[in-house]
Amino acid sequence: MNILVTLDQNYLRHAQVMLFSLLVNNPGERVCLYLISDDVQEDDLAPLRRVCDAFGATARLLHVDADWFLDAPTMRYYSRAMYYRLLAWQVLPQELDRILYLDPDILVIGPLAALYGMPLGDRLFAAAIHKGIIDLSGPVNRIRLAAYESDGYFNSGVLLMDLQRARREMKPEDIFRFVRENKSMLLLPDQDILNGLYGERIAPIDETLYNYDARKFREYLLASQGERDMDWVMTHTSILHFCGKRKPWNAHMGRFAALYKHYAALAARYAGERQ
Amino acid sequence: MNILVTLDQNYLRHAQVMLFSLLVNNPGERVCLYLISDDVQEDDLAPLRRVCDAFGATARLLHVDADWFLDAPTMRYYSRAMYYRLLAWQVLPQELDRILYLDPDILVIGPLAALYGMPLGDRLFAAAIHKGIIDLSGPVNRIRLAAYESDGYFNSGVLLMDLQRARREMKPEDIFRFVRENKSMLLLPDQDILNGLYGERIAPIDETLYNYDARKFREYLLASQGERDMDWVMTHTSILHFCGKRKPWNAHMGRFAALYKHYAALAARYAGERQ
């Protein structure tokens, strides 16, 4: 199982929690983690490697050649790193045919084998639609998503990628052009690119299973007429995603705060950072 | 690290969650679990043994010879199993010198080495005082605890035992006599015996570290003037105890419900009971 994270140094410790939770919840899987970063150095990875060692997983740090982004338009607030997720196939070893990208603000709480092995057909990606989080009624958003007629908006935080197909069919120029043409309307660049340019090429996955928005317990419960209660979540959901500004590593008293903070402490212990 | 549980078949799956949480949170410890039960059979232990195998732990089932309790007074609602915790030294292998008894409604969320290794001096036990849970103002309770002048009441759910000292100094007759003499006043028999007969022989441990009452988050937070918030708990507390009637395996929407239910699901997966 190949896992991808793209991050800067500030998020490394959160990615470590995500990775630890993935490993505890997927015993028996051979996990290879690929990290793409501009500022993380090999030395920074010692704690994360101790987590890997405890579970027989491997981690490999990849750097991106600056030349590859000479043609990339930049946007205020965003570095070229915003491209790493969608262009990871350029940097990843050629022999990899599939990889699962995961945001660092994720907690894996169940098995990932079914997601990882799902048939993609002729799609490039699999991702979950997050309903109702983005307000689609505003003028900016209507324009922004005009090209993509859909009843939802794919969240790019959990993204299964067919790398072989991506190498054949994706072109950096397409992405750079899309950014150039829509620059003023992109609010969440990587996610907007994914939806705007590749919305039709994404196989949908169930958000309550693989991209559960940790803010939306009540909404999921109501929408399922009471079925998706805490017992359901804890026996069915595999990926909890702490979307939004309030992160569980800061003060955060949501229903899943204790669970996240416990994993953070436990990961730190496995990483040798705490008693 | 020797761990003791005394239980009937209904509690076996909860003990399995407790054991799993203990093992995940104490990597590198050699854990030997001893189970004392009247109705659990060797065959019932297959799932629990798979959990043990995943962490290199061992489990041993001990049965109690009925003859040993010929002199034991019985009480309505309580079987002779109420004696197993305090008289475990009679059944446990002679070579064991120390054991940590843990209730099955416990979740271990941190390291136990410091507790397990604590010096007991001339005490028989270590346990935590639960303040304010038992109403000591009622006449029954005043009588009940008359022999034990203290500002608290030891909870018997986490009980470190010096087995060598117990073999030398504890006598089943003392316990049986205490029960006979106080029968009408015993509400929580094993705990009342522990406090009434051995209250002076218990080394106190910090309840917020090793016997955190999961119902009392607010009380601990207030009593500590805000210090013991969720971050503190998740980096300091090693044992969460789901005291009281509302158990997290039933509907239970406390702050720690997600954490408990996650561990229950994960333990079941390691035990081979679920995908």
Q: Does A220 touch chain B (CB under 8 A)?
A: no
Please spell the DSSP secondary structure of A89-100, one letter per residue. HHHS-TT--EEE
Say if A225 falls within a structural domain. no
pLDDT value of position A190: 84
- Output the pLDDT for position B103: 97
Residue at B230 is within a domain: no
pLDDT digits (tens, 9 = 90+) for B112-171: 999 999 999 999 999 999 875 445 555 555 545 554 455 568 999 999 999 999 999 999
Supply the ipTM of this predicted assembly.
0.89
Chain-chain contact of B258 with A27 (C-beta, under 8 angstroms): no
Residue A64 located in a structural domain = yes
Q: Number of A:B CB contacts under 8 A?
A: 71
How high is the pLDDT of residue B138?
52
pLDDT at position A151 is: 54
pLDDT attached to residue B205:
97
| Count of domains forming chain A | 1
Whether residue A237 is contained in a domain is answered as no
Contact B133/A at CB under 8 A: no
Identify the closest residue of chain B to A25 by CA–CA distance: B266
pTM given for the model? 0.91
| Interface check A34 vs B, CB under 8 A | no
H-helix segments, B113-214: 113-116, 139-144, 163-169, 172-182, 189-198, 207-210
Instruction: Please state, in angstroms and rounded to a whole number, the distance separating the CA atoms of residues B71 and B4.
Output: 24
Model confidence pLDDT, tens digit, residues B216-233: 999 999 999 999 999 999
Could you give the percent of chain B with pLDDT greater than 90? 74
**From the first residue on, what is the mean pLDDT of each consecutive set of 10 residues in chain A (275 residues)?**
95 97 97 96 96 97 85 78 92 97 98 98 95 53 51 88 97 92 81 91 96 95 94 97 92 88 97 79
Residue B212 lies in a domain: no
pLDDT attached to residue A143: 44
Those of residues 225-264 in A touching chain B at CB distance below 8 A are 229-231, 233-235, 251, 253, 255-259, 261-262, 264
Cβ–Cβ gap B235/A54 under 8 Å: no
What is the Cα A250 distance to its own chain's centre?
A: 20
> What pLDDT is recorded for position A147?
43
Domain of A72: which CATH number? 3.90.550.10
The alpha carbon of residue B86 is apart from the nearest alpha carbon of chain A, in Å, by 32
pLDDT score recorded for residue B143: 44
Minimal-distance CA residue of chain A relative to B20? A24
Residues in Cβ contact with A87 at an 8 Å cutoff, skipping those fewer than 6 apart = A68, A170, A172, A175
CB contact under 8 A, A258 and B230: yes
User: What's the pLDDT at B133?
Assistant: 47
Contact A2, A89 (CB under 8 A): no
> What pLDDT sits at residue B150?
53
Chain A residues close to B228, C-beta within 8 Å: none
Residue A196 contacts B, CB cutoff 8 Å: no
Looking at the domain assignment, is residue A226 inside a domain?
Answer: no
Q: What is the pLDDT of residue B19?
A: 98
Q: Which residues pair with B241 in a beta bridge?
A: B106, B213
Domain span including residue A70: 2-105+112-205+255-270
Exposure letters B36-57 (e unless 16+ CB within 10 A, then b): bbeebeeeebebbbebbebbeb
Q: Give the residues of chain B that fall short of pLDDT 70.
A: 76, 132-152, 274-275
Using an 8 Å CB-CB cutoff, list chain B residues near A229.
251
Closest-approach residue (CA) in chain A for B271 = A27
Evaluate whether residue B236 is within a structural domain.
Answer: no
Unique residue bearing structure tokens 């205490």 = B178
DSSP state letter for A224 = T
**Quick check: A234 and B262 in contact, CB under 8 A?**
yes
Instruction: Please report whether residue A275 resides in a domain.
Output: no
Residue listed under structure tokens 């949908």: A204
